[in-house]
């Protein structure tokens, strides 16, 4: 028996997971749960008769257990906040932040596949227009397509079956917001951009939600407030990474 085997009492060593690997596991888990949640949504909408054998208790359990895709997407926002700061930290050079390089890296990460998916959706929506299911009954017009092209669909309306991309508006907004905060506050305390971002998101979310409840009950005000509210979790994740120890990288 080798020294390594005798030290552990087993044939293989137990190697702890790195932060990088833990983040990848969380990403994979959230991605799988989002797919399951959307599959449940589509199946129940297109085959409502399949619900008949299920008791109300089972329907509630399925909805609460695997049907809450929104919460899994919020998990992605937290991971993004954590990883965004790692990307920023790697690009900081002698107290300077290359904002252009940062924006190019962020855009190249999400936009090519996003626009490819949008093109595919436009083609599919055109092909099935005569027998389109009613799962996503809205958004098949030039105005919503323009919103999708500008990546502001979560503030207006998503385009047909490309509805799940509402979260891309949030992701792009967080990329830009944090990049601008770092660029404007570079040279200060390492956690200052994250702390400022946290308070900015929190205050804006509260103000917009008050406006929505009182005098400005519009989709833009509501979505803008929720966007900033969810940004709080990502900002806190940024802050936790900037004040934490260790140098484990994250593929962002």
Torsion of CA 120, 175, 243, 97, to 10 degrees: 130
Residue 202 · residue 232 · CB < 8 Å: yes
- Contacts of residue 126, Cβ cutoff 8 Å, sequence gap at least 6: none
DSSP assignment of 70-86 equals HHHHHHHHHHHHHHHHH
Model confidence at 141: pLDDT above 50: yes
Question: How many percent of the chain have pLDDT more than 70?
Answer: 82
pLDDT of residue 122: 92
Chain mean position to CA 132: 28
Helix, strand and coil content of the chain, in percent to the nearest 5, comes to 75, 0, 25
For 29-53, write each residue's pLDDT tens digit.
888 888 888 888 888 877 888 777 8
For 114-133, write each residue's pLDDT tens digit.
999 999 999 988 888 777 77
Radius of gyration of the chain (CA): 22
Nearest alpha-carbon partner for 248 in 16, 18, 23, 14: 18
C-alpha–C-alpha distance, residues 237 and 17, integer Å: 20
pLDDT of residue 248: 44
Residue 19 · residue 250 · CB < 8 Å: yes
Q: Report the interhelical angle of 166-185 vs 219-243 (nearest 10°).
A: 50
Measure the CA angle with vertex 152, ends 234 and 207; round to 5°.
Answer: 60
C-alpha–C-alpha distance, residues 169 and 162, integer Å: 13
pLDDT of residue 7: 47
C-alpha–C-alpha distance, residues 229 and 209, integer Å: 10
The model's confidence at residue 234, banded by pLDDT at 50, 70 and 90, is: low
C-alpha–C-alpha distance, residues 49 and 66, integer Å: 20
Q: Residue ranges per domain, the chain?
A: 68-243
């Amino acid at each position: 028996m080798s020294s390594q085997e005798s030290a552990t009492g087993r044939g293989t060593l137990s190697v702890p997971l790195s932060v990088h690997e833990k983040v990848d596991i969380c990403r994979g888990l959230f991605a799988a749960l989002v797919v399951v949640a959307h599959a449940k949504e589509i199946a129940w909408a297109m085959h409502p008769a399949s619900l008949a054998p299920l008791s109300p208790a089972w329907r509630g359990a399925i909805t609460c257990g695997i049907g809450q895709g929104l919460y899994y997407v919020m998990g992605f926002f937290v991971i993004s906040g954590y990883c965004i700061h790692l990307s920023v930290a790697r690009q900081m050079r002698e107290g300077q932040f290359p904002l252009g390089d940062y924006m190019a890296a962020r855009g190249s990460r999400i936009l090519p596949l996003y626009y490819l998916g949008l093109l595919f959706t436009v083609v599919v929506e055109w092909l099935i227009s005569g027998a389109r299911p009613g799962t996503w009954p809205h958004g098949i017009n030039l105005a919503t397509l323009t919103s999708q092209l500008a990546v502001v669909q979560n503030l207006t309306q998503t385009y047909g079956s490309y509805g799940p991309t509402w979260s891309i508006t949030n992701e792009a907004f967080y990329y830009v917001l944090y990049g601008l905060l770092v660029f404007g506050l570079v040279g200060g305390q390492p956690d200052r951009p994250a702390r400022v971002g946290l308070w900015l998101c929190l205050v804006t979310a509260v103000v917009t939600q008050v406006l929505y409840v009182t005098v400005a009950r519009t989709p833009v005000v509501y979505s803008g407030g929720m966007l900033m509210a969810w940004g709080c979790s990502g900002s806190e994740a940024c802050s936790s990474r900037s004040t934490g120890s260790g140098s484990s990288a994250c593929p962002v």
